[in-house]
Amino acid sequence: MKPPAPAAPSPNGQAGLVAGLYGLLAALWIALSDRLAALVAGDTAQLTLIQNYKGWAFVAITCTLLFFLVRRSLSRLQGSYRALAESEALYESLVQVMPQCLYRMDRESRITFANRALERHLGKPREAILGHSPREVYPADLAAKYRQDDLRVLQGETLNLIEEMVSLDSEQRKRYIEIVKTPTYAPDGSINGIQGIFWDITARKSAEEQIEYLAHHDPLTDLPNRVLLRDRFLQAQGQAARSANRVAILFLDLDHFKLVNDTLGHPIGDRLLQAVAERLRRGVRETDTISRQGGDEFVIVLPELADPESAGSIAGKLMEQMHEPVRVNGHRLNVTFSLGIALYPDDGEDFDTLMKKADTAMYSAKEAGRNTLRFFTAAMNVEAAARLKLQNRLQRALEKEELVLYYQPQFDLASGRILGAEALLRWRDPERGLVPPGEFIPVAEDTGLIGPIGEWVIGEACRELRRWHEAGATDLTMAVNLSPVQFRRSRLVEIAARALQENRLPAECLEFELTESLLIREDAAILETLTALKGLGVKLSIDDFGTGYSSLAYLKRFNVDKLKIDQSFIRELCSNPDDEAIVSAVITMARQLRLRTVAEGVENAEQATMLRRFDCDEVQGFLFGRPMPAADFQALLGHR
């Protein structure tokens, strides 16, 4: 917008006023002075005298008048000069200290004014800027863009121009600026140039870009997140709809990742996720999108697939890629995952439906034993609904006191004396009756419910053992199963110590059954917990011995007391020479290491006879007694 002209007194008007006043005074003097002199003079001599002096009087009066008028004008002018100088100084100081870059240009885009901020921005002194045009400062494409904008301003098409542009600073780095350009006007109102003010918004721009990136990526793995994945799926869906191809959604969940997190700690878990992300990246095409959904879940969108089999073979390759263990901080971790596949348009049209179905298929792969893949089928929906229901109901089972412990007796093989029992969890579900632990413990581990459930099991097993001791069976022991997940989540040592103290039980009559998978992890926290448990005086045994890992080093490191030979070796002990050899070897080795042995799953007398021949210390199995409710176990004790 053209600026309004400042309101100043007109010089012609001022001069005309002075001349008019003077003319009026002179005319009045000429017309009236002689008459006035004749009127006031008493005689001719007096009149002559007055006439002699009246000319001088006129000069004196007009000089005085001129003096005051000129002085008034000059002091006004001086005031204006002073005000102008002050405003000029103010303007100059503001313009020079302002952080924004300010410049003026003529119609040919030659810079006629530049403030210090612009000098700093360009890294050049004012002399090197003035008289030059952006063409000499910026690369051709940038200068051309600036000139285009300038022409619009010069034509008055766009008077104010605010836009984000790219500029180059003194080190030729790309900077983002926001700029306002307005025309400048000559006194006759014509546009004679451009003035521009711009400021650096690079920091804001990169913060915006960072926010934008974070909104679409997973910070741990740098992979796209669900938001970006949805976008990519929509693009792939559009292409597939045109080409009559398919899009596959692969839902991957690492097997036993919780265990890694819970036993080796979150930093190792994070590194593992990063390593897995890297391997997945290597296993897919540029056009495929891998994303992390959070936790240990990854989702891959495969666009433009000709047939469902292609999705299966890509998924198979990804699984093969995991065969090589992942090395993290000196740990060699075997990584497998369960993978579910849903296809567009076969299994659904929209992203959310397909994600849900791929997730359901992944769960089905987990249930099928993990480290496998499943395509979605309609029957899986029914299973998924059942699993969700189980999760919700298990949450309430503990509060509603629906969990119970059964006790399976353990015997000294040589004497047949009852030594104690293993506490085995059951869920007395009002809908389904007695539910075995295998059906709900994995769900409890997945949801974190194993913490409170495990705490209740330890407390209840100790209360029951107290009852037996009070009934006189003070030599009996109680074995309790521990889930590896309980090791990091709950305060295991504190819980065990409290249960023993509240029930006034000696620590050595409580035994924790641990899995081999827990012990092979070289984790300081696990070692610390096990050492503290041993410090309390409780016993440790290794459950399902022989089915897990072949490293026996942990037997020494964790100071265990007992090996429980897995029932899979006992089942065919009398008919399979391999099982016979394994059981015999384990018992011999345990004896050398001064560890006790328990054979579990003993179902017939032949097995018991052979175990006796091998000098096995203890037995547990249906031959001697099934897991039973507390009342039945107490009755059993009454008959000893």
What long-range pairs does 506-509 form, CB within 8 A, spacing at least 24? 506/537, 507/536, 507/537, 507/538, 508/477, 508/537, 508/538, 508/539, 509/420, 509/465, 509/469, 509/476, 509/477, 509/478
Contact with ligand LFPHGCPZ (CB under 6 A) among 260, 273, 328, 441: 441
Instruction: Give the C-alpha separation, 255 to 180, whole Å.
Output: 58
Q: Please say which residue, 511 or 543, places its beta carbon nearer to ligand LFPHGCPZ.
A: 543
> Segment 402-431, which members bind ligand LFPHGCPZ (CB under 6 A)?
408, 422, 424-425
Q: Does 607 bind ligand LFPHGCPZ (CB under 6 A)?
A: no
Q: Please say which residue, 119 or 513, places its beta carbon nearer to ligand LFPHGCPZ.
A: 513
Q: Please say which residue, 288 or 618, places its beta carbon nearer to ligand LFPHGCPZ.
A: 618
Instruction: Give the C-alpha separation, 421 to 114, whole Å.
Output: 92
Q: Does 433 bind ligand LFPHGCPZ (CB under 6 A)?
A: no
Contact with ligand LFPHGCPZ (CB under 6 A) among 252, 457, 510, 565: 457
Q: What is the total count of residues that contact ligand LFPHGCPZ (CB under 6 A)?
A: 25
Contact with ligand LFPHGCPZ (CB under 6 A) among 308, 345, 437, 629: 437
Q: Does 459 bind ligand LFPHGCPZ (CB under 6 A)?
A: no
Q: Does 601 bind ligand LFPHGCPZ (CB under 6 A)?
A: yes
Q: Please say which residue, 209 or 412, places its beta carbon nearer to ligand LFPHGCPZ.
A: 412
Task: Tell me if 50 sits within 8 A of 37, measured CB to CB.
Answer: yes
Q: Does 436 bind ligand LFPHGCPZ (CB under 6 A)?
A: yes
Q: Please say which residue, 330 or 369, places its beta carbon nearer to ligand LFPHGCPZ.
A: 369
Q: At its nearest, how many Å lie between ligand LFPHGCPZ and the CB of residue 396?
A: 18
Q: Does 438 bind ligand LFPHGCPZ (CB under 6 A)?
A: yes
> Segment 520-549, which members bind ligand LFPHGCPZ (CB under 6 A)?
543-544
C-alpha closest to that of 109 among 145, 139, 134, 137:
134
Q: Please say which residue, 327 or 626, places its beta carbon nearer to ligand LFPHGCPZ.
A: 626
Pick the piece of the chain touching ligand LFPHGCPZ (CB under 6 A) from 306-314, 346-354, 478-486, 611-619: 478-486
Q: Does 483 bind ligand LFPHGCPZ (CB under 6 A)?
A: yes
Q: Please say which residue, 115 or 261, places its beta carbon nearer to ligand LFPHGCPZ.
A: 261
DSSP lists the bridge partners of residue 426 as 404
Q: At its nearest, how many Å lie between ligand LFPHGCPZ and the CB of residue 438?
A: 5
Q: Please say which residue, 464 or 544, places its beta carbon nearer to ligand LFPHGCPZ.
A: 544
Q: Residue 444 phi/psi, 5° resolution? A: -65, -35
Q: At its nearest, how many Å lie between ligand LFPHGCPZ and the CB of residue 351?
A: 38
Task: Tell me if 466 sits within 8 A of 504, measured CB to CB.
Answer: yes
Q: Does 477 bind ligand LFPHGCPZ (CB under 6 A)?
A: no
Q: At its nearest, how many Å lie between ligand LFPHGCPZ and the CB of residue 464?
A: 13
Q: At its nearest, how many Å lie between ligand LFPHGCPZ and the CB of residue 332?
A: 26
Q: What is the DSSP string of 38-66?
A: HHH-SSHHHHHHHHHHHHHHHHHHHHHHH
Instruction: State the alpha helices, DSSP H only, in 284-376.
Output: 308-321, 351-367
Cβ count near 181 (within 10 Å): 23
Pick the piece of the chain touching ligand LFPHGCPZ (CB under 6 A) from 181-189, 237-245, 585-593, 619-627: 619-627
Which element (helix H / strand E) includes 619? Answer: strand 618-620
Task: Tell me if 507 sits within 8 A of 546, measured CB to CB.
Answer: no
Instruction: Give the C-alpha separation, 58 to 266, whole Å.
Output: 108
Q: At its nearest, how many Å lie between ligand LFPHGCPZ and the CB of residue 541?
A: 9
Q: Is 60 exposed, middle or buried (0-12, 13-18, 19+ CB in 10 A)?
A: exposed
Task: Tell me if 252 sits within 8 A of 337, measured CB to CB.
Answer: yes
Percent helix, strand and coil across the chain, each to the nearest 5: 50, 20, 25
Q: Please say which residue, 513 or 579, places its beta carbon nearer to ligand LFPHGCPZ.
A: 513
Q: Which amino acid is at 48?
A: T
Q: Residue 385 phi/psi, 5° resolution? A: -65, -40
End-to-end CA gap in the chain: 108
Q: Please say which residue, 353 or 391, places its beta carbon nearer to ligand LFPHGCPZ.
A: 391
Q: At its nearest, how many Å lie between ligand LFPHGCPZ and the CB of residue 313?
A: 37
Task: Tell me if 529 sits within 8 A of 499, measured CB to CB.
Answer: no
Q: At its nearest, how many Å lie between ligand LFPHGCPZ and the CB of residue 348?
A: 37
Distance of CA 185 to the CA centre of its chain: 54
Cβ count near 93 (within 10 Å): 10
Q: Please say which residue, 234 or 404, places its beta carbon nearer to ligand LFPHGCPZ.
A: 404
Q: Please say which residue, 314 or 425, places its beta carbon nearer to ligand LFPHGCPZ.
A: 425
Q: Please say which residue, 546 or 601, places its beta carbon nearer to ligand LFPHGCPZ.
A: 601
Q: Residue 119 phi/psi, 5° resolution? A: -60, -45
Q: Does 627 bind ligand LFPHGCPZ (CB under 6 A)?
A: yes
Pairing between strand 403-412 and 539-545? unpaired
Q: Kindly report the length of the chain.
A: 640
Instruction: Give the C-alpha separation, 189 to 5, whole Å.
Output: 10
Q: Please say which residue, 341 or 482, places its beta carbon nearer to ligand LFPHGCPZ.
A: 482
> Segment 552-581, which members bind ligand LFPHGCPZ (CB under 6 A)?
564, 567
Joined tokens for residue 337: 């995952």
Q: At its nearest, how many Å lie between ligand LFPHGCPZ and the CB of residue 498?
A: 17
Binding site for ligand LFPHGCPZ (CB under 6 A): 408, 422, 424-425, 436-438, 441, 457, 481-483, 513, 543-544, 564, 567, 600-603, 620-622, 627
